[in-house]
A and B are shown apart, each in its own frame.
Chain A
Amino acid sequence: MEKRLTGLVIILTLLMFSLPVYAGMPMTTAEATVNKVLNVLRDPKLKSPASKEIKKETLRVIYKDMFDEIEFSKRTLARNWNKLNPTQRAEFVNLFEQILEKSYADKILDYTNEKVVFYKENMLSDVQAEIQSKIVTASKEIPIFYRMILKDGKWRVYDVVVENVSLVQNYRTQFNDILAKDTPEKLLETLRKKVSKN
């Protein structure tokens, strides 16, 4: 009996160590990260409203690792990236990240046992992939696609497509609209205001 148990432990340990080998695939990476997020959300120890901040803090670490915020910002600004000087760029990346976090953190914390299914991996190029997943709720299915890019041996998300709408494109249109009329400084000002609000 004990022998069998040791055998099981050895096999499990081996499995654990062999996992990183597969973690090279974009779909596995995305799925693993999302599962990490779900584990935090499902954690019975963190159920009380008081631990909301702890949850947010834990989640921040996970998605900082998941998203390539600079790639995200660059793609969002597209051509306009060149209009910003390095200081402005750094500030933009920071502000944009805060806006996204603020808008979506609460939505994620609202999570109540919906199912998340990963079902497809589309390689867009050697270093880019689209991972298709869906959230299944009682009344509907919401398709969520993660576009990922391979950099330094690591797959990270640079765009999220929710129900056919690409976040990067959506913000690009908004920022384009602002930058067509105003200076980058003015855009940063708008973002600063949005971050400091509520």
Chain B
Amino acid sequence: MTKYHHIKSFLFLILLCVILTTGCAHSPGPSSATLPVAKSSPQPILLASTSEQSTAQSAVDAVNPLDDEYKEDELVDEYAKNAVQEERVEIADPLETVNRAMHQFNDKLYFWALKPVAQGYKAIVPEPARVSVKNFFSNLGFPARFLSCLLQADFSGVATETGRFTINTIWGIGGLLDPSAGKELDLQKQDTDLGQTLGVWGVGQGFYIVWPVFGPSSPRDSVSIVGDYFLYPVSYISPWYAGGGVKAYEEVNATSLRIGDYEALKDAAVDPYVAFRDAYAQYRFKKIKARKAKPNPSVPAAEKSSLVKPALPEKGD
């Protein structure tokens, strides 16, 4: 019975999403078309860089024979200019002192709590089961991805997500399996969120924030943390601590599949705090760039020409 209750509240949630989006579509809708243009003065250069700039760049390279490695004077700007694809991605960090403290806190949280628990869990539960659990939770993340695609006017993404959710829920045993990502259907998860949506609309990153538990973020991406909370069915489990428990379990499961990644990144870094900040900035920047570059039938042709060239194609072949 409780099961039905959940499905009902879930359906209500989807309905809410739809109402919300159709409601919102009137106000941010047009701005989503204008904002990127207004804001995107550096963007065309970045996106067009692959074709036009590269030819110009090769000329630069020809002038800059790379074998005279220790040539003094001419080097100054070469490497800043030599950005065939290396856009400079930086994020302001006015809260560095607080952020560093939070970074330390999260580091300890990982090594003292999350990692030991995840290791124990990993020893007991075989990998295929853990992958299924991950799929299950990922399937529940559908509302947030669906809404984000919709708000980005990415209708193929909306269709893909809807298809995935239906197929994986019905044929994938409630989302435990991911048959839609297989070769035949090839419906890949739309890895997007509300922070990216704002980014696509032209909202800048702002500055760097490290939240306790949630980790690296920015004012813009913090919207994701809040939005995802409300769009994530697990948040509606009552009592609240049961929902919290489920989320903690989800995190342990996810961590068990990537033990060693954090350690490797940290060990490789000269200043781990700066390394993670930069990785975060680069990662978000390129994700949003890829979302913007996604060929979209709803975007006007003039705008499209600058957007069509995907700097980072999502799939090969």
Contacts and interface: CB of A to CB of B under 8 A. Distances in A.
B72 interface: yes
B187 to A, nearest CB: 15
A94 B55 CA distance: 33
Given A119-B317, A163-B283, A174-B271, A125 B278 contact: no
A125 B274 contact: no
A34 B82 CA distance: 27
Given A120-B316, A170-B279, A81 B75 contact: yes
B56 to A, nearest CB: 9
B89 interface: yes
A164 B287 contact: yes
Given A82-B75, A166-B282, A177 B274 contact: yes
Interface in B24-78: 50, 54-55, 57-58, 61-62, 66-67, 69-70, 72, 75-77
Contacts of A173: 90, 274-275, 277-278
A167 to B, nearest CB: 9
B262 to A, nearest CB: 12
B79 to A, nearest CB: 4
A103 B264 contact: yes
- Band of interface residues on A: 35 or more
Interface string A59-79: 000000000001100110011
A78 B88 CA distance: 12
B286 A164 contact: yes
Contacts of A103: 264, 267-268
A124 B57 contact: yes
Contact of B127 (A126, A134, A138, A165): A138
B275 A170 contact: yes
A170 B277 CA distance: 9
A168 B186 CA distance: 33
A124 to B, nearest CB: 4
A28 B84 CA distance: 22
B55 A99 contact: no
Size bin of chain B's contact surface: 35 or more
B50 A139 contact: no
Given A79-B79, A107-B264, A152 B67 contact: yes
Given A74-B69, A103-B264, A79 B279 contact: no
Contacts of A135: none
Contacts of B115: none
Nearest to A134: B316
Contacts of A78: 79-80
Interface stretch (B11-19, B128-136, B167-175, B293-301): B128-136
A139 B278 contact: no
Given A71-B66, A74-B69, A177-B271, A128 B283 contact: no
Contact of B85 (A117, A127, A130, A132): A130
A132 B207 CA distance: 31
A110 interface: yes
Contacts of B84: 124-125, 128
A123 B54 contact: yes
B66 A165 contact: no
Looking at B55, B128, B316, the one whose CB has the most chain A CB atoms below 10 A away is: B316
A78 B79 CA distance: 5
A194 interface: yes
Contacts of B58: 125-128
A111 interface: no
A29 B283 CA distance: 27
Nearest to B73: A82
8 contacts: A149-B66, A151-B66, A170-B269, A170-B278, A170-B279, A170-B282, A173-B90, A178-B270
Given A79-B77, A159-B86, 11 more contacts: A82-B72, A82-B76, A103-B268, A104-B264, A107-B264, A119-B317, A124-B57, A126-B62, A132-B313, A166-B86, A169-B86
